[in-house]
Amino acid sequence: MRARYSAHAMNNLNFIMASWHPTTRPQDTGPIQQWNDECTWLALNVAQSRKLGSKGVVEFVALYRQAGQLKQHHEVANFKFEKGQWWYLDRSD
């Protein structure tokens, strides 16, 4: 999760997409790139994380600035360990 946040902060869309599980990865990256281009990422707070075998859940709040306003992105993210790495699946919130 921290690596994906860092990728957002550095506007590294390649890493964001490469860490997204192929079965849930969006084909159209335009909306993600546009949102990322409009944001300045400020902080990440991981509220909780738990691992259940090959599945993981991370609840986090990311603070960012967009159009001069301070905002937060709260998410409960699902991950899957497969082929030696953790993949982002989707959000369950």
Residue 72, SS3 per DSSP: strand
| Contact in structure between 71 and 63 (CB atoms under 8 Å) | yes
Would you write out the chain's pLDDT as a tens digit for each of its 93 residues? 789 999 999 999 999 999 999 999 999 999 999 999 999 999 999 999 999 999 999 999 999 999 999 999 999 999 999 999 999 999 986
Task: Judge contact between 58 and 1, C-beta under 8 A.
Answer: yes
- Residue 58's CB: how many other CB atoms inside 10 A? 20
The CATH classification of domain 2-91, taken from the options 3.30.750.24, 3.40.50.720, 3.10.450.50, 1.20.1090.10: 3.10.450.50
DSSP 13: H
Question: Bridge-partner residues for 87, per DSSP?
Answer: 80
Query: How far apart, in whole angstroms, are the C-alpha atoms of residue 39 and residue 9?
Result: 9
